[in-house]
Amino acid sequence: MRTSLIIALCLTLGPIVSPAIQAADTQPVPSATAAQPYTTEDTALGDILDDAEAAAIIDKYVPGFSKDPQVEMARGMTLRQIQGYAADTFTDAILTSLDTDFAALAAKRKAK
């Protein structure tokens, strides 16, 4: 339920952010490759969710987040952008841990 509230808040507040932030939100966000890990700053949530291993990393820190039906509406946002609406859930410490785990996932894939 908390995840649903976070997503609803993101969708509700999204239209009232400044034009500069809105312009930044519309720029394409690159997806990760084996050599380049996903990041909370630069990777769209949708790209992360499309990768089962990466989605499981998010669920490790925010249980059930990837399975929430409303999360689909935030696929174009980065986790850092979502933090602006849910700072108590996506703390700096959690985002740092996510970036660390995403980097480890990329390193594991590169080693294959």
C-alpha closest to that of 28 among 75, 73, 67: 75
Total domains, the chain:
1
- Mean pLDDT is lowest, of 29-43, 45-59, 77-91, for 29-43
Euclidean distance between the first and the last CA atom of the chain, given in angstroms as a whole number: 38
Per-residue pLDDT band for 112 (boundaries 50, 70, 90) equals confident
> 51: which 2 tokens?
């990768």
| Cα–Cα distance for residue pair 97/108, rounded to 1 Å | 16
- Mean pLDDT is lowest, of 11-20, 31-40, 67-76, 95-104, for 11-20
Is 67 in contact with 59 (CB distance < 8 Å)? yes
pLDDT at 1: 54
Q: Is the pTM of this model over 0.85?
A: no
Look over the chain and give the mean of its residue pLDDT values, rounded to a whole number: 81
The 10s digit of each residue's pLDDT in 88-103 is 999 999 999 999 999 9
DSSP state of 70: G
**Higher pLDDT residue, 35 or 55?**
55
Mean pLDDT of the 6-25 span = 49
Range of the domain at 89: 2-111
Per-residue pLDDT band for 18 (boundaries 50, 70, 90) equals very low
C-alpha closest to that of 45 among 34, 63, 36, 57: 57
